[in-house]
């Protein structure tokens, strides 16, 4: 930080520029001067970071994969507001149709000497190994919110996907459903893998053999059309209810049911995940698991600013429980004639 740079310069009796050059290993700085700067850091109780770390910009990158899924803008808005309250400047970065990628944004942000990055629904690994190495080598403070892939060395804030599936299944089985499908994202998608593990555990504790529930698991892209196509397949295999890994997939499942001439929830019950904007206004209003966006945004910004202030946080995942919001897309199963 700028204040620390000034403190070190004053204590060592040199200019701020000399401190920067000394910490960056410039050959223009005499060894005696470099040692004086390092001694000043030690006396002031400061670690020996690079000058880049000591003088980061208040600019914070907020990286999202797209703005079409309503939950991404919701998280971005919540995080941006909290950054603003702390005097930090959010820079929204999202993939565009003309080919601007996470890698492009990371390069631009590093060029601005950013103070940190919050990745929403993606991570620095999506940008490629070169960008990942650059972020780590410069020790850029980072927080990952609902990352799509494994990031064991990062600070992560995630919704409890497994518990959400358990809540949905408990509700559906309580009203009488026995053939429940699971419609989730691609197999390499970490939140989807967590949902699948919970689905397996739920039926396992009830003594249901995997050969009975495995045919009712479907993977799809996170889109209405992909969700509709996979829902048609699951319904064809006898599912009377479908637990979906996102609200977008749930809307696709409803579309798929209607293509078969079925009604929701009379013939097929559907649950979502996110409780994104307008889910109360769709037809029928969607039963879904609500992510605690506000609390997760608080935690993400707190973790980021702690890192910016020099604290070392233990890598790992902090899970936040969702809330099942009961609306009109679920109900008791009805016997439907096989076509």
pLDDT tens readout for residues 259-298 = 999 999 999 999 999 999 999 999 999 999 999 999 999 9
SS3 content of the chain, % helix, strand, coil (to 5): 45, 15, 40
Q: Is the pLDDT of residue 135 over 90?
A: no
Domain range annotation of the chain: 2-54, 59-159+293-320, 161-291
CA angle 108, 106, 292 (to 5 degrees): 125
Joined tokens for residue 214: 């495995």
Q: Is the pLDDT of residue 339 over 50?
A: no
pLDDT tens readout for residues 309-335 = 778 899 999 999 999 999 999 999 987
Joined tokens for residue 57: 């910009």
CATH architecture of the region 161-291: 3-Layer(aba) Sandwich (3.40)
- What is the model's pLDDT at position 45? 87
How far apart (Å, rounded) are the C-alpha atoms in residues 91 and 88?
A: 10
Q: Based on C-alpha coordinates, what's the Rg of the chain?
A: 25
pLDDT tens readout for residues 155-196 = 999 999 999 999 999 999 999 999 999 999 999 899 999 999
- The yes-or-no answer to whether 59-159+293-320 and 161-291 have a common fold is yes
How far apart (Å, rounded) are the C-alpha atoms in residues 129 and 53?
A: 21
Q: Return all residues near 31 (Cβ < 8 A) that are at least 6 apart.
A: none
| CATH dotted code for 59-159+293-320 | 3.40.50.2300
CATH topology of domain 2-54: 434 Repressor (Amino-terminal Domain) (1.10.260)
pLDDT tens readout for residues 214-248 = 999 999 999 999 999 999 999 999 999 999 999 99
């Amino acid at each position: 930080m700028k204040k620390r740079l000034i403190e070190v310069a004053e204590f060592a009796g040199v200019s701020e520029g000399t401190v920067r050059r000394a910490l960056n290993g410039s050959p223009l700085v005499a060894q005696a001067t470099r040692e004086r700067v390092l001694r000043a850091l030690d006396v002031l109780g400061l670690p020996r970071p690079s000058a880049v770390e000591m003088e980061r910009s208040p600019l914070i990158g907020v990286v999202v994969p797209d703005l079409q899924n309503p939950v991404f803008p919701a998280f971005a808005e919540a995080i941006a507001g909290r950054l603003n309250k702390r005097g930090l400047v959010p820079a929204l970065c999202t993939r565009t149709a003309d080919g601007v990628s996470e890698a492009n944004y990371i390069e631009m942000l590093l060029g601005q000497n950013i103070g940190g990055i919050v990745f929403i629904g993606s991570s620095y690994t999506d940008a490629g190994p070169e960008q990942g190495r650059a972020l780590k080598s410069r020790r850029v403070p980072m927080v990952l919110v609902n990352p799509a892939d494994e990031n064991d060395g990062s600070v992560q804030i995630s919704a409890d996907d497994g518990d959400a599936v358990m809540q949905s299944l408990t509700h559906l089985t309580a009203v009488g459903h026995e053939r429940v499908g699971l419609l989730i994202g691609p197999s390499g998608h970490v939140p989807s893998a967590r949902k699948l593990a919970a689905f397996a555990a739920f039926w396992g504790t009830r003594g249901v053999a995997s050969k009975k529930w495995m045919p009712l698991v479907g993977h799809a892209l996170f889109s209405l059309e992909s969700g509709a196509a996979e829902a048609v397949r699951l319904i064809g295999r006898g599912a009377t209810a479908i637990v979906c890994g996102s609200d977008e997939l749930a809307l696709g499942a409803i579309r798929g049911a209607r293509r078969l001439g079925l009604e929701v929830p009379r013939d097929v019950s559907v649950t979502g995940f996110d409780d994104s904007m307008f889910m109360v206004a769709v037809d029928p209003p969607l039963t879904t698991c609500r992510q605690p966006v506000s609390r997760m945004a608080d935690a993400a910004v707190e973790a980021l600013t702690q890192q910016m202030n020099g604290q070392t946080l233990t890598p790992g995942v902090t899970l936040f429980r969702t809330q099942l919001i009961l609306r009109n897309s679920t109900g008791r199963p009805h016997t439907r004639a096989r076509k």
